[in-house]
């Protein structure tokens, strides 16, 4: 490829690539100094960008990097900041960035085994590595009937689980004939479960009303007695219960359902049990936290997100099923133009049949880079450091008379609030976020506005948590003096 | 971050990053020499990988790069090879790789406007750039009721279109109550349409039987008379027709439906018209090819894949709707923990409501890098070069008595076959692919096994097409002499 070509030559790519690597390295060095939440107004970035693509291109990346600094960076809310304590983290650790770069560079599309055997087989191996790392039940490993696959998100995983369960309970009728004219299906989760379950049920044609949101106890865990009563009532009313989603660490407060209790109920009523450990599954890398998975051998499907706490950049949700035939039965479709000898042999996995889209990136590479760079020990160390910092933060809250803790906090999420009204707490959050000094988010627990503080960004250290607490106290004093 | 830390320091990232860039640049230089289709056997890569993650990590990327060479590369089917003529391309052009790297480096998760305004607003702007580049109807631009969003794939786009259409026709009932007990819905496409439509209808609870696959004419275009008759018959039988998917360039043979004809029918019967131009939409960057979009002002949704022909690496499917309220009505869900002032103001776009998953990567960056690097002119040049090479190839086929063309080939896909039986044609394909000299795929047209030859990889030049034709002729002679 000549330098006069339309395309960057490998040499031009090298030069530009070094510049982008350098830009990112500098970003890593400086991100802790930026205001965490972007301060732009709606439309500001849009207006700063030309209305149309340039007629003539340029193979020099430097003008784009200049615009990254001047136009894009002010519009970034810095998930990479060590002062990011909002939502759950989305970790782009250095090896994950490099693994993703490798995936982009190879540019393979792994819909079928044959379209790049390494993409499929590295993924199978990485899913087994993760299953071993978390000590997941044998049934999820690739050796037997089960297996794992990388999905883009826990939302897509729960949708796939719903579809596999729907396929199983209707014995294929839902895929063939649709749901019109069938017995109405009902699914179950706690009121604290993630919104993706309801969204998945809508997509699957079961509807919001097909989801029974069962109440929780004072730990925000699903009430098993109420769940049983609801299932019984639904059966009596002519519904067909088919699916339960258990939450191991709710988004709102990090609450854990009892998989042991749910598993027994699901066996009794022949329900699919999906377990969503999107954020906190990573904790099970440490033996002392493996209790979170007690009862998991009763689950039909399970997911957690390496793209949250396990240092791997979005998107990377690890999803397992105990019996892959239900999943493939729900999602497999085989047009002639994708027929090939390897598929026909039955000896290979074609991951197109395990997911909603047909095409897929080589996402296993970033997991491979992360797990080789950190090792088991390194992942454990990150988990323990974050849990330690979070417990330190919880003790600071606990010792401060103006504040109260609002939920159990066994891992790296603390729900707390200023003693006072919702208005003061909302003001406190907005003042903190507007200050740029840190970024946290909120939820509602027991009808109260509650602050969420999650320590999960890879670069967060004790100084950042201490500094955050200092700022929280300062702003709280200011809010309270204004209120009084 | 010290060098003793668990994490790579920015300096270590820089050093490792340069090594990965260098690896990819070398890959670009050498990929044309590799056998295109991987030659490994099932399980070979899997067996070459350790059974479990290492206990202790290493921050040096070089051992991983060594394994990339020794373990992974043999298992790669090289989509980046200029000799890749199979399926449709998945282009990872140099600027796309760099844009994707930037996205990984920033690591933002753009589910909400507030979680990085630049991620949302650059995407809005890029979708408008693309709409202008292809001269899409005004209704799809962001200024009015419509708008665009990046999906992972055309499969997800058609699923979103089905869900929006289902929501519109049931006036929200399907999301609220599900489909059980409702009038059965029916959807329409040609027999040549992509399998993702049937898969989407299964997912949406409408089922395979809800899809009427209407016959085609000798150009493989949907038969409008048969379609009207089917719609009338369905109405008479108590079904509710709701959705038509038009194909602008089928996967099998590149066949085009008449959007003008379909649009009129859809207006008459109040059906949602989705238009799938996944591969060939890119052609409309050139004024002389914009006829493909005639009638598009009658469509409710449209998609094409920059990750196929427009030089942008997977995943990047550009999806537009004429009225975003149907889409948001179908996919919007608003848990309290994601509530924020910007969303409440109504002044911003939250792309979580436009897609299946909640989370999302900053994919607009790679489009920005690609469009700035190539410019309008550069994209047009690539399209014209590929179409030119394809027409050259078609002429070679046409002039060779042993071969026949099997379908119209206005752009960059040629369907052809050896005059003879399916067995010889299959043998020819397998011999060519096994040789490593090129990679092509097949389809079935008029019940015959047909070879597909698609010129769409960015580095493909005339020499590669000439060389491919030489090999095809050589292997054909060998297959024919064996058969006779």
CB within 8 Å: B54 and A376: yes
What residue of A is the nearest CA neighbor of B133?
A: A53
Indicate the burial class of B466 (C-beta count within 10 angstroms; 0-12, 13-18, 19 or more): middle
CA–chain centroid gap for B433, Å, is 23
Look up residue A63 and give its two tokens: 């003008």
Residue range B377-390, pLDDT digits in tens = 999 999 999 999 99
Residue range B57-76, pLDDT digits in tens = 999 999 999 999 999 999 99
Q: What confidence score (pLDDT) does residue A4 get?
A: 63
What residue of B is the nearest CA neighbor of A370?
A: B57
Between A181 and B170, whose confidence is greater? B170
Indicate the burial class of A3 (C-beta count within 10 angstroms; 0-12, 13-18, 19 or more): exposed
Residue B462: pLDDT over 70: yes
Residue range B225-266, pLDDT digits in tens = 999 999 999 999 999 999 999 999 999 999 999 999 999 999
| Segment A206-234 mean pLDDT | 97
Sequence-distant (6+) residues with CB within 8 A of B380 are: B285, B286
In angstroms, the CA B157 to CA B159 distance is 5
> For the domain A369-483, what is the CATH code?
3.90.1150.10
Residue range A429-471, pLDDT digits in tens = 999 999 999 999 999 999 999 999 999 999 999 999 999 999 9
CB B105 within 8 A of CB A91: no
B38 and chain A in contact, CB less than 8 A: yes
CB B24 within 8 A of CB B55: no
CATH 3.40.50.2300 correct for A108-361: no
Q: What confidence score (pLDDT) does residue A480 get?
A: 85
Residue range A283-304, pLDDT digits in tens = 999 999 999 999 999 999 999 9
Tell me the CA end-to-end span of chain B in Å, nearest whole number. Answer: 71
> Long-range contacts of range A379-383, CB-CB < 8 Å, 24 or more positions apart?
A379/A133, A379/A282, A379/A285, A379/A310, A379/A311, A380/A285, A380/A286, A381/B6, A382/A309, A382/A311, A382/A458, A382/B6, A383/A282, A383/A283, A383/A285, A383/A286, A383/A289, A383/A309
Q: What confidence score (pLDDT) does residue A188 get?
A: 98
In which band, very low, low, confident or very high, does the pLDDT at A5 lie, cut at 50, 70 and 90?
A: confident
* Contacting residues of A for B180, CB less than 8 Å apart: 179-185, 205-206
Of the candidates A442, A303, A315, the one whose C-alpha atom is nearest the C-alpha of residue B150 is A315
* Contacting residues of B for A109, CB less than 8 Å apart: 79, 90, 314
Sequence-distant (6+) residues with CB within 8 A of A317 are: A150, A151, A152, A153, A154, A156, A157, A278, A303, A304, A305, A306, A307
Which range among A143-147, B4-8, B153-157, B424-428 shows the weakest confidence by mean pLDDT? Answer: B4-8
Residue A33: pLDDT over 50: yes
In angstroms, the CA B359 to CA A153 distance is 7
B287 and chain A in contact, CB less than 8 A: no
Q: What confidence score (pLDDT) does residue A149 get?
A: 98
In which band, very low, low, confident or very high, does the pLDDT at A484 lie, cut at 50, 70 and 90?
A: low
* φ/ψ of residue A194, rounded to 5: -70, 150
Residue A314: pLDDT over 70: yes
In angstroms, the CA A206 to CA B258 distance is 34
Question: CA A390, A396, A402 angle in degrees (round to 5)?
Answer: 130
Mean pLDDT of chain A: 96
| Segment A373-378 mean pLDDT | 98
Shortest distance between the Cα of B140 and any Cα of chain A, in A, equals: 15
- Strand boundaries in B179-254, DSSP class E: 185-190, 211-214, 240-247
Q: What confidence score (pLDDT) does residue A1 get?
A: 46
pTM: 0.97
Residue A260: pLDDT over 50: yes
CB A294 within 8 A of CB A302: no
Sequence-distant (6+) residues with CB within 8 A of B216 are: B190, B191, B192, B222, B223, B255
* φ/ψ of residue A121, rounded to 5: -75, -35
Strand A211-214 to strand A272-276: parallel, antiparallel, or no bridges (unpaired)?
unpaired
Interface with chain A: mutation pick from B165, B193, B357, highest number of A CBs within 10 Å: B357
CA–chain centroid gap for A475, Å, is 31
Q: What confidence score (pLDDT) does residue B4 get?
A: 63
Residue range A100-152, pLDDT digits in tens = 999 999 999 999 999 999 999 999 999 999 999 999 999 999 999 999 999 99
Residue A392: pLDDT over 50: yes
Domain ranges of chain B: 1-33+38-76, 108-361, 376-483
> For the domain B1-33+38-76, what is the CATH code?
1.20.1340.10
Interface with chain B: mutation pick from A89, A153, A205, A444, highest number of B CBs within 10 Å: A205
Strand A301-304 to strand A272-276: parallel, antiparallel, or no bridges (unpaired)?
parallel
Residue A49: pLDDT over 80: yes
Task: Give me the half-sphere count of Cα atoms (radius 13 Å) on the Cβ side of residue A115.
Answer: 26
CB within 8 Å: A71 and B118: yes
Instruction: Identify the three-state secondary structure at position B223.
Output: coil
Residues 125-164 of B with CB under 8 A from A: 125, 128-129, 132-133, 152-156, 159, 163
In which band, very low, low, confident or very high, does the pLDDT at B5 lie, cut at 50, 70 and 90?
A: confident
Q: Given B55, B117, B179, which is nearest A376 (Cβ)? A: B55
Residue A155: pLDDT over 80: yes
| Segment B343-361 mean pLDDT | 95
Strand B413-418 to strand B448-454: parallel, antiparallel, or no bridges (unpaired)?
antiparallel
* Cα separation values, A162 from A16, A145, A441, B279, Å: 45, 19, 29, 31
CATH topology for B376-483 is 3.90.1150
Residue A322: pLDDT over 60: yes
Residue B89: pLDDT over 50: yes
In angstroms, the CA A259 to CA A114 distance is 38
> Cβ atoms within 10 A of the Cβ of A165, count?
26
Which ranges of A172-299 would DSSP assign to H, the alpha helix? Answer: 173-177, 195-203, 224-236, 259-269
Tell me the CA end-to-end span of chain A in Å, nearest whole number. Answer: 71
CB B194 within 8 A of CB B251: yes
Residue range A55-79, pLDDT digits in tens = 999 999 999 999 999 999 999 999 9
CB within 8 Å: A21 and B38: no
CB within 8 Å: A102 and B159: no
Q: Given A68, A129, A377, which is nearest B56 (Cβ)? A: A377
In which band, very low, low, confident or very high, does the pLDDT at B337 lie, cut at 50, 70 and 90?
A: confident
Look up residue A440 and give its two tokens: 């946290």
CA–chain centroid gap for A16, Å, is 32
Q: What confidence score (pLDDT) does residue B481 get?
A: 85
Residue B3: pLDDT over 60: no
Residue range B177-216, pLDDT digits in tens = 999 989 999 999 999 999 999 999 999 999 999 999 999 9
ipTM of the complex: 0.97
In angstroms, the CA B443 to CA B446 distance is 10
Residue range A174-195, pLDDT digits in tens = 999 999 989 999 999 999 999 9
3-state helix, strand, coil in chain B (%, to 5): 50, 15, 35
């Amino acid at each position: 490829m000549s330098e006069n070509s339309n395309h960057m030559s490998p040499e031009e790519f090298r030069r530009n690539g070094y510049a982008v690597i350098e830009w990112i390295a500098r970003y890593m060095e400086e991100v802790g100094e930026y205001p965490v939440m972007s301060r732009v107004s709606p439309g500001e970035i849009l207006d700063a960008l030309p209305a149309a693509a340039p007629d003539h291109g340029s193979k020099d990346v430097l003008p784009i990097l200049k615009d990254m600094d001047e136009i894009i960076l002010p519009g970034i809310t810095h998930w990479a900041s060590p002062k990011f304590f909002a939502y759950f983290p989305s970790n782009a650790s250095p090896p994950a960035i490099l693994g993703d770069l490798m995936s982009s560079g190879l540019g393979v599309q792994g819909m079928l085994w044959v379209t790049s055997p390494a993409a499929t087989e590295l993924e199978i191996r990485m899913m087994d590595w993760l299953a071993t790392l978390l000590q997941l039940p044998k049934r999820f490993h690739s050796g037997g009937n089960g297996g794992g696959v990388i999905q883009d998100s826990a939302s897509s995983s729960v949708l796939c689980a719903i579809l596999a369960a729907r396929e199983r309970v209707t014995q294929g009728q839902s895929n063939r004939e649709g749901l019109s004219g069938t017995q109405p299906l009902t699914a179950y989760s706690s009121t604290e479960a993630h919104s993706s379950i309801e969204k998945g049920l809508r997509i699957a044609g079961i509807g919001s009303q097909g989801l029974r949101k069962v109440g929780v106890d004072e730990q925000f865990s699903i009430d098993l007695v109420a769940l049983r009563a609801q299932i019984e009532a639904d059966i009596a009313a002519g519904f067909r219960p088919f699916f339960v989603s258990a939450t191991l660490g709710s988004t709102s407060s990090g609450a854990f359902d009892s998989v042991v209790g749910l598993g027994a109920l699901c066996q009794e009523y022949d329900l699919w049990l999906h377990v969503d450990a999107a954020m906190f599954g990573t904790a099970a890398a440490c033996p002392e936290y493996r209790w979170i998975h007690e009862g998991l051998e009763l689950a039909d499907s399970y997911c957690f997100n390496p793209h949250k706490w396990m240092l791997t950049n979005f998107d990377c949700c690890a999803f397992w099923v105990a019996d892959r035939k239900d999943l493939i039965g729900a999602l497999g479709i085989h047009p002639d133009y994708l027929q090939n000898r390897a598929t026909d042999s039955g000896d290979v996995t074609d991951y197109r049949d395990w997911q909603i889209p047909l095409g897929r990136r080589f996402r296993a590479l970033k997991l491979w880079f992360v797990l080789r760079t950190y090792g088991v020990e390194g992942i454990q160390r990150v988990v323990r450091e974050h849990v330690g910092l979070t417990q330190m933060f919880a003790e600071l809250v606990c010792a401060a008379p103006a504040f109260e803790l609002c939920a159990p906090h066994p891992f790296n999420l603390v729900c707390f609030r200023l003693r006072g009204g919702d208005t003061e707490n909302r003001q406190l959050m907005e003042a903190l976020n507007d200050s740029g000094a840190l970024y946290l988010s909120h939820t509602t627990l027991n009808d109260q506005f509650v602050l969420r503080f999650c320590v999960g960004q890879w670069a967060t250290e004790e100084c950042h948590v201490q500094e955050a607490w200092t700022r929280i106290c300062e702003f709280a004093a200011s809010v309270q003096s204004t209120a009084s």
